[in-house]
Each structure stands twice: as structure tokens, then as C-alpha cells.
Structure 1
Amino acid sequence: MSRKKQMAAADPNRPRLTTSAMIASLAGEDQRTSPAPFGRALVELGRTRPEILGLTADLAKYTDLHIFAQAYPDRFYQMGMAEQLLMLAAAGLAHEGFVPFVTTYAAFASRRTFDFISQGIAEEGLPVKICCALPGLTTGYGPSHQATEDLAIFRGMPDLVIVDPCDALDIEQAVPQIAAHDGPVYMRLLRGNVPMVLDEYDYRFELGRAKLLRDGADVLLISSGFMTMRALETAKLLAADQVDVAVLHCPTIKPLDTATLLHEVGRKPRLTVVAENHSVIGGLGEAVAALLLNEGTIPPRFRQIALPDAFLDAGALPTLHERYGISAEAMAGRIKGWLG
């Protein structure tokens, strides 16, 4: 019997959660959103930076690069379904003084073009900005499109900066800063109607910096990407049970903001939890754990909330997020269990 049939048999009255499997919104029903923040930020940047180019592998519409293409058609290149060619074409243009922004899906960039990025872009120190949609579990299309290991793959590449923004504000502010960085960048990308969260916390993106969004005495939640949105939701849920949760947003995965991380973990004894939209192997959690161990800043208890080391199911995102423990409700339940 299939898993879907097993679930129906177990609870015939269970509501069916349906969303588009490929491009599903992460926003709640009443949550504020901003349309295409990446595309709009790149258009704005292009007004004063004629060297900014846009390249994609047949995915302009699904990475919001089509907005840049409409604004600057002479600075846009559609490379077709040829991701290796895409990366080397961007490298060639960077050698000529341009700053290419390259878009595709995170699974294709990390798995299919790794060697081309390593040898053609990173080793040369070229200012190519690789901005990729569908990171982690942001699509229900299954393992072929779920880039649950992209951070693990790219963290090992020398001189590559890695950014994992939380929301529309993070993306809008990150675009000009990664463009100004003199070297290659890999940025995970949320597209379409992207939630607006961080504007409520007097937040500004700074490349290489982590930001404490709220303080708390019982738990320190360190997070990146949309899991910072989940962390803030989790903190509100746990507040109802008198559990005080701090949230530290870490949008730059590499290089880590070691000073802020060590300060926040070390300044008071509390449960430290790293939450990420990535495999439990090789992502932010392991990076933070290694930092703390190497520096001798050991919290009383350390836990990870992440995706399992497995090929994940296909389906509706709300169902998958609950199944794999990255919904706010699932996170709150696990943290209460760890606090005992």
C-alpha cells in the first residue's frame, strides 16, 4: 500500500493539504508578501551598474529573472538547458569585466555544475553570483528537484561565499551587497510571492553578519533561510508555555559570523538549537557545532532541527514540512521535549 493510501486509511477524515508541488508559497494565508524581490532588486541595481548581466538555464520565469530580462533585454542571456555551459559563459563574461547573475535550480547548480563552478569560477576568483531557486525542501517534486544537500556540497569549495536569506527584505538587501563582493557567491533564492518577516525586527542584511532578532533566557535558536521565519513562529508558540526563546538569524553560511555566534552561545547557559532547511549532514548545524567545539564554547545542550539524511518524499509542502519536522508546530514540540 502506498504511503498516501496508508495515511488515508489511518485517518479518513484527515484534511488534504494541497499546494503546487513545484512552486509553492511558503507564506501563510494571512502573511504579508512581496512579489519577486530578487528580480526587482536586480533591476534596481542594473539602473546604475551597466556591467550587471542576467543569465539563466531556461528558468527565467521560475527564478524571477524574467523581470530583469524585460527591463534590460540586451543584458540578458538565455542559455537553454545547458547548466555547465551557463556557468562557463558567466565565467567568460566575468573575465571581460561584467558581473553576471546566474539563475537555475539549486539542485542543478550543486549537483550538475560543481566542477565547472569550482574550476571556471571559484578558482579564478570571478565575481559570478549564482542565485538558485528551490533550495532544500521548497518544492514537492521529490529528490530530483529538492536540493537538500547544496550547502554541504558548496561549503567545501574554497573562496565561495554562501548566503541563505530568510524573506523578501533579506533578498532585496542582499542583492547589492553580493554584487559588491569581489568574488563568487552562491545564494539560495526564494521566488514568487515571498513572505515579509524581518521588517518587524529593525533588521538590515549585512554580508557576513548574524543578527539577534529577539532575546530569550531558555533557548537560543540559530537559523538561516526561511527557517528563521519558522524559528520566530516557534518562539511565539513556546511563549504561550512560558518558554523564552532567542532567535539568531545567520544568513551568511560561509564565512560564518564567528564572533556573534560565540558571544550569543557563551553569554548565558541555555539550550542551543540550530534549525535549517537542509540535510542534517554538512549544513549550518554542523558548521556551528564545529565552531563551538574548536573554540571551546560548549553549550549545556546542543541540538539540530534539519532534514533527514534521506531522499525525501514528493507532495504538498505543508504536509512535507510537518512530516520532516520543520513546521513551527513540530519544532515547538521537539524543543519542549528537549527541555524536559
Structure 2
Amino acid sequence: MAEVKNRAGGMGEIAEVEGPYERAPFGTELADLGALDERIVGLSADMSKYSDIIPFRDRFPERYFNAGMAEQNAVMMAAGMAKVGKIAFCATYAAFLTRRALDFIAVSCAHSNANVKIVAGSPGLVNPYGATHQSLEDLVVMRSIPDLTVIDPCDAVELRHAVRAAAATPGTFYIRNLRGKVPVVFDETDFTFEIGRARLLRPGRDVAVIGTGFMTARALAAAETAAGQGVSAAVLHVPTVKPLDAEAIAAVCADVNRVIVVENGVRSGGLGTAVVETLSDHGIAVPVQRIGLGDRFHPCGSQAYNEALFGLDEDAITRAVITGDWPHT
């Protein structure tokens, strides 16, 4: 593996992106939706720039509210606005939302079926500022809360569609945000998004690779490389972690020799755990390899550096698909 230099990008933004990308797909989509529906409001906790909500803020300043560095207040304001008929999008860092404001998300939003959409930036191992800013366990925590929809989009196209679906669907949502130069993986012309539905992106007979978020793009690249070496890998994209498309997961795993789950977060309790639970429920006995982060705090460093160090990069995933070897802890 080539040496990866530890050069951190700015506040959770991927510094270098190969191929097509969009800037601020979340904020741009929210602004477009705001023009169609006056009920939509935007909130942040002193993170408008670093949550990419600025396009909405600039277009509708009277409908944008900055709670300052007080995530609990931002979530409670969103819940209160939802009580009077607003569709409230609350955007800031995942680490601060899911730790400091967890009770407010669970009780004031999900338990109350509030029309609040939590848009969580720098999820997983994206942020360069170490354990205080890396929300490695957010999917674990959020999928445990009843009446909460959890979405982890793959690219800019899916993020925009997820925001659109959240705005149109009553209830509380948790959406992992992608910011800065957000890669475009899917073709808008034939793309569809349905809450609770996984997408089989590539058929295969030897190994099934199940991914969520931007890790799915790496799974696709790994499957393409593996095909050149005689390994047939199916790729299933699971953008909705909750509610989970258990039938699609069972179907893709039923006729392969092994399964690999790739996710940007801790291995225990996240998508990998959900897949193992699903296979157990369906009586499917197949080895499952979970590629994610171990039970530890992770250091400061650029996204590329940390992912190479802990085995979340494309090289490590490709090696696992072809050989089954993933020597990381």
C-alpha cells in the first residue's frame, strides 16, 4: 500500500475528490425545498458553514436559526417548531448531536413523533480532530431509538433524495451528512430512493458485499477489481439503516460463500450487527466479515490517513473481497 500522508482536511470536508462532485448538496436541496414549502425551517448550533446549510440560510434568513454552541437548545427549538407545524432541519456535528443532545432527540423528537430532521455532519472517521469530534458510534446509538428513521447516503445524488424524502415524510429522521466536495456515484437520470429499501447495485455468486454510506462506493470499486481476478462479488447498498431492508439482505446472502459488511463506524452494534441478526432470523448460515472500526478511541489525522491505518480504505476492502484477509482490529 502506498504511503498516505497525514494531512487533515478542513472540518470534516474531504480535501481531494477524484471524479465528479457537487458542493453542498444538503443545503442546496434544502433551499430548493424551502422555496416550495414555507413550513421548512433550518437550524444549526454555530455550525452553518461546516454543516453546508448556508445555501438555505442565505436564501431564507428569516427561517434560519442559530442556537450557538448549544446542541440541546437547537434540537429543542426544532422540536418546538415542529409542534406548531414546521418541518425543522437541524444540522451540526454528529458527535455533538448524538452525545450532548441524545435525550432531546429520543424524547422530544422521536418519542413525540416530531417532524424534526437531524442532519449530522462529520459522521464516523471523517473529522480530523480526534475522539472529541469523531462520531464513531452514531449509527449504533441512533438505530436503537424507536420511531426514528436512520439514513446513511452514499453520494451527493442520494443525499439530495434523502433530504427530499425526509421533508415529505412525517416523523423524526437522522441523516448522515456529506459536506464539501461530495462525490457523485449514482446517475441522477435513473436513480430512485425509497425509505427502507436497499439497492442491489451488482450481482455476484462468490461473495456479497453489503455497504452503507460512502463505503458502498468503495465496495463497488473493490468488486470491479475482484472481477478481474475471477471473484464474483455482489454489492448491496443499504442507505436506510433503520428501518432495515431485511429481505434484501437475506436474499443477497442466501447463495454466496461469504459476506462482507463495510461501514464507516464501529463494528459492534452497527450495520454489521444488523446483518448478523438478520441472517440469524432467516436461518442463513454463512461467514460474515465486518469491516469497520474497533472498540477504541481513534486519533487525530486526515480521513485518508486514518482510513488507511484502520482498514477502511479501498485497498483494504479490495483485499478482503479477493482473499478474505482483513488484518485490522
TM-score (norm 1): 0.91
Structure 2, gaps ≥5 residues long: none
Q: 1:43 aligns with which of 31, 35, 50?
A: 31
Q: How does 1:294-313 map to 2 (within 5 A)?
A: 294-299=281-286, 301-313=287-299
Please, what is the CA RMSD of the aligned residues?
A: 1.8
**Corresponding residue SS for 1:62:** helix
Mean Cα deviation higher: 42-51 or 201-210:
201-210
The aligned counterpart of 1:83 is 71
Report the CA distance between 1:121 and its aligned residue: 1.0
- Identity among equivalent positions (%) equals 40
Question: Hey, what does 1:319 align to over in structure 2?
Answer: 305
> After superposition, what is the alpha-carbon deviation per residue over 1:159-190, rounded to whole angstroms, capped at 9, x for unaligned?
01100000000011111101122110000000
2:317 maps to 331
**Residues 1-340 of structure 1: pairs in structure 2 closer than 5 A:** 16-20=5-9, 22-25=11-14, 28=17, 30-199=18-187, 202-266=190-254, 268-299=255-286, 301-338=287-324
> Does the aligned pair in 2 maintain the 1:162–1:255 contact within 8 Å?
yes
Deviation digits for residues 77-128 of structure 1, max 9, x if unmatched? 0110111111111111000000100001000111111111112111111110
Tell me the SS of whatever aligns to 2:49: coil
Post-superposition offset of 1:71: 0.6
Q: Does the residue aligned with 2:167 lie in a helix, a strand or coil?
A: helix
Once residues 291 and 273 of structure 1 are traced to their aligned partners in structure 2, the CA distance between those partners, rounded to angstroms, is: 14
Q: How far apart in 2 are the matches of 1:107 and 1:45?
A: 27
Letter in 1 for 2:262: A
CA distance in 2, matches of 1:183, 1:332: 38
Q: Secondary structure at the match of 1:162?
A: strand
Q: Amino acid of the residue matched to residue 74 of structure 1?
A: E
SS in 2 for 1:335: helix
Deviations 1:241-282 (A, max 9, x none): 22111110000000001221122222x233111110010111
CA distance in 2, matches of 1:294, 1:14: 42
Q: Is the 8 A contact 2:222 2:321 kept in 1?
A: no
Q: Partners of 1:339 and 1:39 in 2: how far apart?
A: 40
Task: Quote the offset at 1:336 in angstroms.
Answer: 2.9
Which consecutive unaligned segments of at least 5 residues does structure 1 have?
1-12
1:9 corresponds in structure 2 to: none
SS at match of 1:131: strand
Cα separation, 2, equivalents of 1:96 and 1:329: 50
How far does residue 335 in structure 1 lie from its aligned partner after superposition?
2.9
- Whole-angstrom distance in 2 between the partners of 1:249 and 1:206: 12
Q: Output the amino acid matched with 2:278.
A: L
How far apart, in 2, do the equivalents of 1:256 and 1:27 lie?
Answer: 32
**Higher-Rg member (1/2):** 1
CA–CA separation in structure 2 for the residues paired with 1:201 and 1:264: 25
Q: Secondary structure at the match of 1:185?
A: strand
Which residue number corresponds to residue 10 of structure 1?
none
Q: In the superposition, relative to structure 1, how do residues 193 and 237 fare at CA in structure 2: closer, same or farther (>3 Å)? A: same
